[in-house]
Amino acid sequence: MRRKLLPWAACALLLYLLALRNLHRPPTPAGRPAARFWKAPCPLRSLWSQDLLERQRRRRSVSRDRAPGCGPDRQVESRVADFQQLPQAVKDFLLYRRCRHFPRLLEPRGVCGRGLRLLIAIKSTASSFVRRQAIRQSWGGLGRASGVGLVFLLGVEEEADGHPGLAAQLACESRRYGDLLQWAFRDTFLNLTLKEVLFLPWLGRRCPGARFIFKGDDDVFVNTERLLDYLDGPEPGASPGPALHRSPDLFLGDAIFGAKPCRNPRLKYYVPGAFYNGPYPPYAGGAGVLYAGRLARRLERAARALPLFPIDDVFTGMCLRRLGLAPTAHAGFRSFGINESQRWEPCAYRRLLMVHGRSPQEVVLLWRMLHQGNLTCG
């Protein structure tokens, strides 16, 4: 009989000890279940997704972004796995990813106004004077008489980057040409997205009448006249119906679909999985894109609602996705260049709108070859 009672006594003692423990446990807040000793294996949200959720929870997200001169977000060091092992450029981006308001240092003049058919906005760096000069002397120099405006988008290159005395040189260049738009952020590859989020509101305030915008890099060759012909009317052989260029949703370029983040930390396009997990939306290569001025105002609103992303053309694709849009592919945009056998063939460039990867010397020579009087193309 005693042996039968022992298990029951042990069980009663265990229940008594558990009850005694619960008496000293803090009460569970109303509406919140008690914590369990196990955790379900749920996938963690990426930092970008967490930032997006945080922005969506705010009622006035813009006013709560970090102000000019904002400090680093030190919490990210514990929120991102192996943060200290990331490349320095990636760490800098993550630390300052919430800083998106910077004062303007240089403002262009005479770029905007009535009758502006096409605004050319070129991403350049302060030290790339030769590239800017080549564009001014070739495809970017048609001028306001042709309804074309030109502006270069710049950040700041510091003396520590090996570029001393640039501020004075840029001030002189700005006085002479009046086409520099510069903000007080450090000009790096992963900060190119800042040129997008700062350019769009400037565009809405200073150039609200621009019908179309071409935005690209300073190492592209653009057949500006063919670009204007495309905007003015249907291309030869085009199917009947409404012209694509008349759409307020026009966003044209070298469209990329089904891309995924680069996970190789040795490459400049590297994006750690802890920051962004998932495929990219459709986007157009940032070497050169063409979009409608009316779409630019909607892109600005979309950009305000999204966290910054270190790859600028992917970020623009995210903005398009938020608007329910996607870029339209056009064979005339060559973000990855053309066949090497056609590198010096002017007739090849006459059929295209934009070719990426040309030196300043090539840009000027190709423009002259394209406009020689005896050029005939079949």
pLDDT digits (tens), the chain, 378 positions: 545 555 555 555 544 444 444 444 444 333 333 333 334 445 557 999 999 988 888 755 444 454 445 889 999 999 898 999 999 999 999 999 999 999 999 999 989 988 899 999 999 999 999 999 999 999 999 988 899 999 999 999 976 566 677 889 999 999 999 999 999 999 999 999 999 999 999 999 999 999 999 999 999 999 999 999 999 876 444 544 445 566 899 999 999 999 999 999 999 999 999 999 999 999 999 999 999 999 999 999 999 999 999 999 999 999 999 999 999 999 999 999 999 989 999 999 999 999 999 999 999 999 999 998 888 887
Residue whose entry in the numeric block shows the structure tokens 């600028």: 312
Domains of the chain: 104-235+243-370 (3.90.550.50)
Q: What single-letter amino acid sits at 201?
A: P
Residue 225, number of CB atoms within 10 A of its CB: 15
What three-state secondary structure class fits 286?
Answer: strand
Is 133:197 a contact under the CB 8 Å cutoff? no
State the pLDDT at residue 44.
Answer: 52
Residue 362, number of CB atoms within 10 A of its CB: 16
Spatial separation of the C-alpha atoms in residues 114 and 131, rounded to whole Å:
28
The first and second tokens of residue 111, run together, are: 């770029």
Is 303:200 a contact under the CB 8 Å cutoff? yes
Is 73:265 a contact under the CB 8 Å cutoff? no
pTM (2 d.p.) = 0.84
Is 164:170 a contact under the CB 8 Å cutoff? no
DSSP H helices in 207-292: 224-232
CA angle 63, 122, 139 (to 5 degrees): 155
